[in-house]
Amino acid sequence: MNSRTYGRTGKPVSEIGFGGWQLGNRQDWEAMEDDAAVRLVHEALERGMNFFDTAPNYGLGKSEELLGKALAGKRRNAVINTKFGHQADGSSNYGADQIRASVEVSLQRLQTDYVDSVLIHNPPFDMLDGKHGHYEELEKLKAEGKILTYGVSVDSIPEMLEVIEHTNIGVLEVMFNIFYQETAEAFKRAQDNNIAIIVKVPLDSGWLSGKYNSQSSFEGVRSRWSPEVIRKRAALLEQIKFITNEETTMTMAALRFILAYPEVTTVIPGVRNSAQLIENISASAAAMPEAHVKKLQDLWITEIRDQKLGW
């Protein structure tokens, strides 16, 4: 597994990380058994994956709990990112006066006395510039050693620029993949400010795993796609099949496209079993050919950017 530097912390992190949304998540998937989840985290560590992304609302607190259980006695081998804003009871509260309590409960679930980073989890735009006191509270927690750095999780260029230009954050978690390339326009600005970049939704909610087609139907959180959007996405998948071959799955290629950007620190696909874990990690074994990267970038500009695909 290749590693990259986690911004101002100076810590090396695996360029393929562990997206923990699915751990204990019975709302959107059939949750894996607790012991299986713990074994999966252990296997990730053994295979060189050391970056773990979670949040209080993932599995209504269960994701943090399982991660804490799995990393007990192994904390020094892991880099943990959690969040603030969406709470374990399913509600949202972005009040700056709630940050400390949220972080301290996360630390309890994670069975640790510090986390490497805390992100404000998709807050309203008005909160991004820090005028409501959020970053002052995070600075206090940093001074106390309870967090090493902090930032925000956002989805768009305007949000990224707002925090890059008006704050001193150390981490940005952003949506970016072959079908959603807008955010790359701000990558260099982030890098110039020594801001680590975590890429979320790297497989476009499963589409870039190659397992869906025009006949696919969806339940739960994925039922948001209309029949028209499903047809559009399926047609685009046909256009990008050139990035796969006998040794390279669609998942591996999709992750390699993201890793072709040197500004990216780590990418966090979800993982539910050992086979998915191995496939994700395999993306780190080789680089996407430059010609393929350029062709995908051109496809975004000419055919994808103006389509209404949602997320």
Of 92, 101, 83, 150, residue with least CA distance to 124:
92
DSSP string, 126-152: GGTTSTTSHHHHHHHHHHTTSEEEEEE
Give CA separation, 112 vs 16, 19, 116, 145, 146, in Å.
23, 19, 11, 12, 9
Active site residue 150: no
Q: Are 251 and 279 in contact (CB under 8 A)?
A: yes
Strand-pair partners of 266: 198
- CA proximity to 48, closest of 74, 17, 72, 19: 17
- Which residue type occupies 257? F
Residue with tokens 């050992």: 274
Active-site residue identified among 6, 58, 135, 212? 58
Distance CA 192, CA 198 (A): 15
187 near 164, Cβ under 8 Å?
no
Through-space distance between the first and last CA atoms of the chain, rounded to whole angstroms:
29
CA atoms within 13 A on the CB side of 173: 28
Active site residues: 58
